Each structure stands twice: as structure tokens, then as C-alpha cells.
Amino acid sequence: MSALASILLVYGALALQATLIPALGIAGIRPDLPLVAVTLVALSRGAATGTITGFLVGLAQDLGNPGFLGLNALAKCLVGHTVGTLRGRFDAGTALSHALVLGAATVAHDLVYLTIHRRLVLSEIFLALGTHTLPTALYTAVVGSLLAVLLAALAGRRSHRFGRSHLANR
Amino acid sequence: MFRILFGRYRDRTVLAIAVLLSCLLLALDQGTQAGVARALGLSLFAPVQVVTRNAAETLLLHRENEQLRRVAATLSLERQRLLQLRDEAAELRRTAGFARDRFPYLKPCEIIGRSTDAFQTALQLGCGTRDSVIAGMPVAAYAGLVGRVRQATETRALLETLASPEVALSVQDQRSGVVGILRWSRGNQFTLDRVDAVEDVLVGDPLVTSGLGDTPRGIPVGVVTRVGVSLDGLFKQIDVRTHVDFGGLRDVFVVTRLVPWQEQALYRSEDQQLLRTLEQDAAAAHASTRPEAGERR
């Protein structure tokens, strides 16, 4: 994925999250498109770019909630770094692997976010993880993997790989 | 040194800088955080905010206009009935020696910024102290209560939604009068705490603000969706769905003060003219839907 495509993906994700995604909510659960964008960029371009993208996307989201300025930036830069670092260890070319990575990224992100946001109140953290994060992870995984397939089709390739695949490199 | 950090250990160096910056931002006091967010919003992230705001307005404007026209006509008819009930209630309160009932005076405010993360706990409003908006004021939408003003500058205010852990709201079952504390669970799902197991709360009961605390009483909040009993059998476990979907809000109304429940106090002169026009339109629409005497036969 080129730098321009990454920027467009991030812009599009932020715009859609503020416009279309609220209408797609199911019982208050919505997919997290900015996190999908960070994960796909990290898979495609590596840990350093993933970290910077996560930080900037998170900071853009934090502007709407200055009471916790830096919280989304922290959670998303950690996700960007982790996904970018681990991208060589799995086959990132299939929709299923994208879904698994996106689900895990959502849980990891919310774990960091909720730990600070809920001020280490474990009952609230686990309640939110169970009732909010897990359905969000599932929804994000489904929407994110569909988005990855769509981006692959737009790129004009049969199998667009966001990330290195040790299986493909054999 | 620089070459080693950004060459051999580039990934870790970038991560350390990003984590350090995030922690520094989190450690700032609230006033400075608001200032930094405003500065970033006006400079580095201005294109993002322009794109998101304009896209949202274009998509929602048409649908909202349709909805508002229908709601306005219905409200106008409903208002006529409520005015009769208001006069009766005022007479009863006067006879019983109670204080006169008061009504929230609403200041409309546009939402100019929102957190796009999954936990929608704060919204930015395009009005501030110059519009008589100050910290602590309750904020409502058409459907019900949204939250309260957390901070206000001259031109902007930060709205803390009911989903924020900082907001503890006392609400009342409109049917039985039982009072409890509303706590966020997920999305627009909440729980009603501190309700004894013997209290009378049923699924479908509407909840309104109790008036205990800074929020005036009677503002709709939500509806009870499930009632159970805690494991120790002492308290009820009550699930609540708020009327307001915090993610879909575009305009809200700040309760700037309480005024006597009279037309002259609630509406400006141009508003009263608009009210007359709406009433005439609603009456005409109502008359046109009534069957003629011949048709009834």
C-alpha cells in the first residue's frame, strides 16, 4: 500500500466513522473503522508506520474528547506497533487471517483504553470488555475483512496482501 | 546515536516517542488539554474535522427535515392538550400551597466535534459562556437528556454524555416514583442502581430525571428493558435503554435556567409567531383528515 493510499484510507475511515457507521450500529455496537485503517496500514507498511499512523489517528479521535487527550493515541499506537511487528509471523493474505487480526487488535485496543478510562476499576473494565468490546471486535472483524477484500479488488489484484506472509515467501 | 536510534532500533524508538507523547498529553490538566485539542483541531487536524463535519451534515440534513416537520405538527396538537393539563395542575398546586412549577429554558447548540471512538463520552458544542452556557448545566436533545456541560470557554463547551464515568444521574420511575442511580453499561444501554428488591419497577416503565441534584426534574431519560434481582437478593438489577443515541446527535439544547411555565417566559416574540403558524397548520391538517358527516354514515 502506497503512502497516498494509506493517507486516503485513514481519512476515509475517520469520515465514515463520523457519518455512516453510527447508522450501522446494532444495539449500540459499531465497527471501529479507524482501528481497521491502523491495522491494515501496520500490516502493509510495518511497525514504525503503524505506530505513527495509530498515534495520529488516535489523536484525531481524541480531539472530540479532550478530557482524555492522548488515550486513543496511546492505545492505537501500541496496536499499530504490535501488528506491524508480528506481521511476518502469520499468513496475512486471507480474509480469515484479517478477521482474526482485527478482532484481536480491537480487544487489545479496548483493554488499554478501558484500563485508563475506567481508572482500573476491574468490575467496570471486565463488564465493558464482555458487553461492549467482544461484540465490537466481532463486528469490526467482519467489516474490516470485507473492507480489505474491497481494497484488494480496487487495487486490481486477485489477492491483495496486507502484510508479509511467510507462507507466500516460501 | 541518532543513526542507531532511528536506524537499527527505528521501530522501538518511534514507539517510545509515541507512547511518551501520549502519556504527556494524558498527564496535562483539563484546561491545558482543551487548549491543546483546540489548537490541534484548528491546525494539524483541521482537514479531518472539515471532512467529517460536512459529510455528516449532508447525509443527515434531508432526513432530519422530514422528521422535524412531522414531529412539529404532532407536538403542536399535543401541546394544546398539555396546556389544559398545565392549568389544572397549576390550580391544584396553588390550592395545596406548593411552589409554582418551573420549566427548563433551552439554548440550542450545534455539535461541532465528537469523539469517533467506540466510547462516546464527550461532545464539543459550538456555544459557550457568551451564550450563557457554563459548566454544570444539563443538556438535552429532542428525545431526552444527553449529559451536562463539563467545561465552557467563550465560544465552545465540552459536553459530558451520560456514558461518562464522571456522570452519576438520579432518575425516577415515572409510573411508581422509585428513585435510582443511572450507570452506563454499553452504547445507549445503562443500569439503574441502588433500587431495593421490594421496590416497584416494571419492564417498559419510563424514567425521568428526579430533580435530586443539579438536573431539573421531569426530563425524559429512557425506558426499563429488563428487571431482575441481585444474587444476594437485596437489590434489583435493572437494565435501561436511553432515548438518546449519543452517536447520532447533531444538535442539543442546554438548560440555561428555569423559568415559569408560561408562553411569554418560554418563547421569544418571533417564536410565538411561529407557534401560531404551526398550530394553524396542525389544525388544518387535523381537519382535513376528519371524515365528513356523510362519509361517517
pLDDT for A92 equals 65
Q: Give me the helix-helix angle, A71-86 and A33-45, nearest 10°.
A: 40
Contact B25 A60 (CB under 8 A): no
Contact A67 B30 (CB under 8 A): yes
pLDDT for A159 equals 46
For A:71-100, CB contacts with B below 8 A are 71-74, 77-78, 81, 84-85
Q: Considering only CB atoms, which chain A residues are within 8 Å of B247?
A: 22, 25, 30
Backbone angles phi, psi at B174, to 5 degrees: -65, -30
Q: Considering only CB atoms, which chain A residues are within 8 Å of B150?
A: 67
Whole-complex ipTM = 0.84
Q: Which residue of A has its CA nearest to B45?
A: A60
pLDDT for B210 equals 92
pLDDT for B56 equals 66
Q: In sequence order, what are the beta bridge partners of B209?
A: B171
Q: Considering only CB atoms, which chain B residues are within 8 Å of A58?
A: 22
pLDDT for B294 equals 46
Task: State how far residue B228 is from chain A, nearest Cα, in angstroms.
Answer: 17
pLDDT for B180 equals 94
| pLDDT category of residue B290 using cuts at 50, 70 and 90 | low
Range name among A147-151, B51-55, B87-91, B263-267 with the lowest pLDDT average: B51-55
| Chain A contact for B148 (CB, 8 A cutoff) | no
pLDDT for B25 equals 92
> Which residues, 6+ apart, have CB-to-CB distance to A119 below 8 Å?
B165
Q: What is the mean pLDDT of residues A68-91?
A: 90
* Distances B12 to A20, A48, B108, B199 between C-alpha atoms, Å: 36, 8, 48, 57
Higher pLDDT, B209 or B67: B209
Contact A63 B51 (CB under 8 A): no
| pLDDT category of residue B40 using cuts at 50, 70 and 90 | confident
Here the cell at position A3 is 503512502
Contact A28 B187 (CB under 8 A): yes
Whole-model pTM: value is 0.60
CA distance B278 to B261: 20
Higher pLDDT, B136 or A23: B136
Q: What is the pLDDT of residues B97-124, one digit of tens each?
A: 888 878 888 999 998 887 766 666 888 8
Indicate the DSSP class of residue B246.
Answer: G
- Of A51, A40, A32, residue with least CA distance to A8: A40
Q: What is the pLDDT of residues B266-279, one digit of tens each?
A: 777 777 777 777 77
Q: Do residues B278 and B76 lie in contact, with contact meaning Cβ atoms separated by under 8 Å?
A: yes
Residue that is written with C-alpha cell 499499530 in the block:
A80
Q: Do residues B102 and B260 lie in contact, with contact meaning Cβ atoms separated by under 8 Å?
A: yes
Q: Considering only CB atoms, which chain B residues are within 8 Å of A78?
A: 15, 19
Contact A84 B11 (CB under 8 A): yes
Q: What is the pLDDT of residues A118-143, one digit of tens each?
A: 888 888 889 889 989 999 999 999 99
CA distance B10 to A29: 37
Higher pLDDT, B116 or B78: B78
Q: Do residues B161 and B123 lie in contact, with contact meaning Cβ atoms separated by under 8 Å?
A: yes
Q: Do residues B22 and B36 lie in contact, with contact meaning Cβ atoms separated by under 8 Å?
A: no
Percent over 70 (pLDDT), chain B: 90
Model confidence at B67: pLDDT above 50: yes
Q: What is the mean pLDDT of residues B119-133?
A: 87
| pLDDT category of residue A156 using cuts at 50, 70 and 90 | low
Range name among A12-21, A63-72, B36-45, B65-74 with the lowest pLDDT average: B65-74
CA distance A83 to A103: 12
Here the cell at position B280 is 394553524
Model confidence at A168: pLDDT above 50: no
Q: What is the mean pLDDT of residues B207-235?
A: 90
Model confidence at B297: pLDDT above 50: no
Most confident of A4-13, A77-86, B47-56: A77-86
Higher pLDDT, B145 or B8: B145
What separation, in Å, do the N-terminal and C-terminal C-alpha atoms of chain B show?
97
> Cα-atom radius of gyration of chain B, to the nearest Å?
24
The residue type found at B71 is V
Indicate the DSSP class of residue B166.
Answer: T
Task: Please list, residue by residue across B262-287, b when 16 or more beta carbons sit within 10 angstroms of its beta carbon and e when fewer do.
Answer: eeeebeeeeeeeebeebeeebeeeee
Contact A62 B45 (CB under 8 A): no
Q: What is the mean pLDDT of residues B271-291?
A: 70
pLDDT for B223 equals 94
> Which residues, 6+ apart, have CB-to-CB distance to B230 below 8 Å?
B197, B236, B237
Secondary structure in 3-state letters for B2-57? HHHHHHHCHHHHHHHHHHHHHHHHHHCCHHHHHHHHHHHHHCCCHHHHHHHHHHHH
| pLDDT category of residue B129 using cuts at 50, 70 and 90 | very high
Q: What is the mean pLDDT of residues A145-157?
A: 81
Contact B118 A60 (CB under 8 A): no
Q: Which residue of B has its CA nearest to A78?
A: B15
Q: What is the mean pLDDT of residues A158-163?
A: 51
In which region does residue B218 sit, left (phi positive, over 0), alpha (psi from -120 to 50) or beta (all else)? left
- Quick one: which H or E segment has residue A76? helix A71-86
Range name among A36-40, A129-133, B249-253, B272-276 with the lowest pLDDT average: B272-276
